[in-house]
A = this chain, B = another copy of it.
Amino acid sequence: MSDTVVVGLDVGGTSTRATALGLDGQRLGTGRAGGGNPTSHGAERAAAELLAALRQALVDVDPARVRAGTIGLAGAGRLLADPAGRDAFDRAWRDAGLRCPYAVHGDALVAYASGTASPDGTVVIAGTGAIAAGVRELRLDRVADGHGWLLGDAGSGFWLGREAVRRLLADLDRGHAPGRLATAVLAELLGCADVAARPRDTVDALVQAVTRRSPVELARLAPLVVAAAVDGEPVAAGLIDEAAAHLVESTARIRPVGDASPIVLGGGLLTGDTPLAAAVRVRVARQWPDAPLHSAGDGAAAAAWLAARDLPEVTDPAALHALLVPATA
């Protein structure tokens, strides 16, 4: 058996995860640190989290055995364009004792690779934001949406949260009693689910409560929509279905009719057995009936696989994927 080790990192806004894998699939170490997105946290801070996660993953591994590594992160293009950011990452890599080169890929590609070994396909991601991307020969090709909360992110967590507030405001405008989802949103935003004697006072308080914070924090209401949809609340179920329609519409911008390549669903709202994933699966099956559908899985392991693929001893990347990346639905 080869002595070779590969390292993969999945750098997200809230956590950084590292994994060290043998080419036989043995998990030699894992590490976890704080959010390390260089766009939101600064490259120095991101590099520090990267180093912390790497050191944990390499506690029982001789770094000289590590032959390849990949870092997956949002805003990868911006990091590579910024010499200071690249320097900070280079330093963290060396400080962890690593001497091999590393590649940097966007989080969308890593999410894709965590769901399938196929070099061509599509990834659809819905978390705080939303994006769909075509993958060709394991590189991001065309992209749809990902335009941010002001202009896009249709069907994202931000979108669900904003629409939930909009439905509540419409109820109040109409003088209707808020429904179940609207009541939950009201309680979350104002700390109390009572409507004022003049409903317009509650409207004003809600608008103020939302506009006091960063707009993107509306995404924090998305779990209320998901929970209400699981309970069968009709407004929430309608919003989930509308969000799914948006995500599939974005996907259709970049994915031809009849395409039979795999589709990977990623991001917090689409990974696993969520109502939004279920709604997207129904619409995808209608539009691309021959496409295998996968859920995104272990991003750090997928990053390690992306690193390993180019090693000379790797002759069957798909077989290696089966060994390295835990299977998902």
Q: Which residues of A contact B (CB under 8 A)?
A: 142-145, 147-148, 150-152, 162, 165-166, 169-170, 173-175, 200, 203, 206-207, 210-211, 215, 250, 253-254
- Flag if B166 contacts A207 (CB, 8 Å): no
B144, B145, B165, B250: the one contacting A151 at CB < 8 Å is B165
- Flag if B142 contacts A151 (CB, 8 Å): no
Q: How far is the CA of A174 from the CA of B255 in the complex (A)?
A: 9
- Flag if A173 contacts B151 (CB, 8 Å): no
Given contacts A170-B253, A173-B253, A174-B253, contact A200 B150 (CB under 8 A): no
Q: How far is the CA of A174 from the CA of B254 in the complex (A)?
A: 6
- Flag if A150 contacts B162 (CB, 8 Å): yes
Q: How far is the CA of A175 from the CA of B254 in the complex (A)?
A: 8
B143, B144, B169: the one contacting A147 at CB < 8 Å is B169
Q: How far is the CA of A250 from the CA of B147 in the complex (A)?
A: 27
- Flag if A150 contacts B254 (CB, 8 Å): no
Kindly list chain B residues whose C-beta atoms are within 8 Å of the C-beta of A143.
Answer: 173, 200, 203
Given contacts A173-B250, A173-B253, A254-B173, contact A166 B151 (CB under 8 A): yes
Q: Nearest Cβ distance between residue A231 and chain B, in whole angstroms?
A: 25
Q: Nearest Cβ distance between residue A252 and chain B, in whole angstroms?
A: 9
Kindly list chain B residues whose C-beta atoms are within 8 Å of the C-beta of A162.
Answer: 150-151
Q: How far is the CA of A148 from the CA of B151 in the complex (A)?
A: 16
Q: How far is the CA of A152 from the CA of B151 in the complex (A)?
A: 14
